[in-house]
């Protein structure tokens, strides 16, 4: 398993610079930010639990959710309903916050999930989409960015350093090429893990 500290050490060794501790840390964090909105198999979020409170028409977007692709509302133990995603402008214009009902539509607005109406009860909801991992701070911190995407983040961080700190265009170009190769590999692997299989039908 790779950690934040392990990646820092390896980058320092690979660029042969032991005097860039802070710059390496910044480069790693910038590399993560560059890719955290990209969907890979390891940051797909499935049915993360949240809730809608009675008499409210918005929910604060949980800190671990970067992008939403689906919200499932639990109406009862046996009934789950998918809410309809709407454009935020449309929902703000049509939103009814004076009458209580079961929400059926949602949109993202700022840091909130807004609904088409004021909720008539407390509901459990399941969120699916893209997960945001907590930014590393301690050397022992780890996440998928330091394990599954280690090569991608490491080469992006080195490219950042060669471009902005070391001023080495040749090594910058080499790291960008390796970054592209790592990205293509992760996307191909994500496509395989995200694809379904079609059962053949005899006509």
Bridge pairing between strands 105-109 and 84-85: parallel
Residue 202 placed within a domain:
no
- Check whether residue 126 and residue 140 sit in a common domain: no
- Check whether residue 83 and residue 115 sit in a common domain: yes
Length of the chain, in residues? 203
If one counts the domains in the chain, the total is: 2
C-beta of residue 57 within 8 angstroms of C-beta of residue 118:
yes
- Check whether residue 21 and residue 60 sit in a common domain: no
Bridge pairing between strands 123-131 and 65-76: antiparallel
pLDDT of residue 38: 95
- Check whether residue 48 and residue 121 sit in a common domain: yes
**CA–CA gap between residue 187 and residue 1 (Å, rounded):** 21
- Check whether residue 79 and residue 122 sit in a common domain: yes
- Check whether residue 10 and residue 21 sit in a common domain: yes
- Check whether residue 178 and residue 165 sit in a common domain: yes
Q: Which of 105, 131, 157 is the last residue of a domain?
A: 131
Sequence-separated (6 or more) residues with CB below 8 Å from residue 185: none
pLDDT of residue 194: 74
Residue 201 placed within a domain:
no
Q: Which of 110, 131, 152 is the last residue of a domain?
A: 131
The answer to whether the Cα torsion of 152, 158, 164, 170 is positive or negative is negative
- Check whether residue 87 and residue 143 sit in a common domain: no
Tens digits of pLDDT across the chain (203 residues): 599 999 999 999 999 999 999 999 999 999 999 999 999 999 999 999 999 999 999 999 999 999 999 999 999 989 999 999 999 999 999 999 999 999 999 999 999 999 999 999 999 999 999 999 999 999 999 999 999 999 999 999 999 999 999 999 999 999 999 999 999 999 999 999 875 444 444 43
Residue 203 placed within a domain:
no
DSSP one-letter string for 22-65: HHHHHHHHHHHHHHTTS--GGGEEEEEEEEE-TT-SEEEPPTTE
What six digits make up the tokens of 153? 């983040």
Residue 121 placed within a domain:
yes
pLDDT of residue 172: 98
pLDDT of residue 9: 97
- Check whether residue 126 and residue 174 sit in a common domain: no
Q: Which of 131, 165, 180 is the last residue of a domain?
A: 131
- Which residue is associated with the tokens 């050397």? 139
Residue 98 placed within a domain:
yes
- Check whether residue 103 and residue 171 sit in a common domain: no
With CA atoms as reference, report the closest residue to 92 among 103, 112, 107. Answer: 107
- Check whether residue 26 and residue 72 sit in a common domain: no
pLDDT of residue 197: 46
Residue 89 placed within a domain:
yes
Domain housing 166: 4-36+134-194
* pTM, entire model: 0.86
Residue 106 placed within a domain:
yes
Residue 161 placed within a domain:
yes
- Check whether residue 50 and residue 125 sit in a common domain: yes
19: how many CB neighbours lie within 10 A of its CB? 8
Phi, psi of 75 (to 5 degrees): -80, -35
């Amino acid at each position: 398993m790779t950690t934040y500290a392990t990646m820092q050490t390896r980058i320092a060794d690979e660029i042969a610079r032991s005097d860039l501790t802070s710059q390496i840390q910044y480069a790693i964090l910038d590399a993560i930010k560059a890719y955290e909105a990209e969907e890979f198999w390891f940051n797909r979020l499935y049915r993360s639990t949240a809730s809608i409170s009675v008499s409210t028409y918005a929910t604060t977007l949980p800190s671990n959710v970067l992008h939403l692709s689906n919200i499932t509302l639990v109406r009862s133990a046996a009934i789950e309903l998918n809410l309809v995603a709407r454009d935020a402008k449309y929902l703000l214009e049509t939103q009814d916050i004076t009458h209580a009902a079961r929400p059926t539509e949602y949109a993202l607005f700022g840091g909130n999930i807004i609904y088409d109406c004021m909720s008539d009860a407390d509901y459990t909801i399941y969120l699916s989409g893209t997960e945001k991992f907590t930014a590393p701070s301690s050397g022992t911190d780890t996440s998928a960015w330091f394990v599954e995407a280690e090569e991608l983040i490491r080469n992006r961080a080195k490219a950042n350093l060669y471009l902005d700190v070391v001023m080495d265009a040749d090594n910058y170009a080499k790291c960008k090429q390796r970054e592209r190769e790592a990205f293509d590999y992760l996307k191909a692997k994500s496509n395989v893990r995200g694809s379904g299989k079609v059962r053949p039908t005899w006509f």
